[in-house]
Structure 1
Amino acid sequence: MEDFTIATPLWRWQSATAPGAWHFLTIAGDAADGIRLAAMSGQWLDGRGGFGSAKVRAAIGDTVWSTSVFPHKESGGWLLPIKAAVRKAEALAEGDMVTVTISL
């Protein structure tokens, strides 16, 4: 299993037509390249999913969960959605700098 640890700000995306919002971390740089290389070599934790996503294990503080990262065209990296339960458990708010470890 390969791990990538980065610090990046938590940001929120909201649709103009839907009431809910999603929170994400952008995985860019060397970590994004490492994830892409693992994708090409078939080293995914659980395989590839829809929208070009990749299943990974994520850890922030004491919270560890299985999730997916999604390709992000604007940055050339990946997006990691941060669900409400994780934000609550780790007391995270939009704009916070978050250290996350992605394992695959």
Structure 2
Amino acid sequence: MIIEFDGEVFRWDARADAAWFFVAIPPELSAEIREIPRPYRGFGSVRVRARVGTSQWATSIFPSDGGAYVVPLKRAVRDAESLVEGGPVTVRLEILDG
């Protein structure tokens, strides 16, 4: 399964010494992902291959408190693609689990 969507970069301060940046997958696409049969992984994660601009990497998406999955955006990708908190981002995901 391959999906593409537009979102907004947001910051999550998990700990005082580190901040994480994510983009939320829209609810309707999150619902489709949730329906894919697959073995359970820690935290309900799903393995994906992500692409933003010319950057591609392997990662996992995670369900958030609101029910939507979120895609972590590592620093190397944010720097390479000039992504900033609150800014727009277009993400292409290939779902590897399922």
Q: TM-score, normalised by structure 2?
A: 0.88
2:28 pairs with 1:3: no
Q: Please, which runs of 5 or more residues in structure 2 have no aligned partner?
A: none
Alignment root-mean-square deviation, CA: 1.4
2:33 pairs with 1:35: yes
Q: Please show how residues 19-98 of structure 1 align to structure 2 within 5 Å.
A: 19-38=17-36, 41-42=37-38, 48-74=40-66, 76-98=67-89
1:48, CA displacement in angstroms? 4.6
> Partner of 1:32: helix, strand, or coil?
helix
1:59, CA displacement in angstroms? 0.6
The residue type paired with residue 18 of structure 1 is: A
Q: Distance between the aligned counterparts of 1:91 and 1:48, measured in 2?
A: 34
CA contact (8 A) 1:48 1:55 kept: no
Q: Distance between the aligned counterparts of 1:71 and 1:27, measured in 2?
A: 10
Query: Percent identity at matched positions?
Result: 38
The runs of at least 4 consecutive aligned structure 1 residues that moved more than 4 Å come to none
Aligned to 1:18: 16
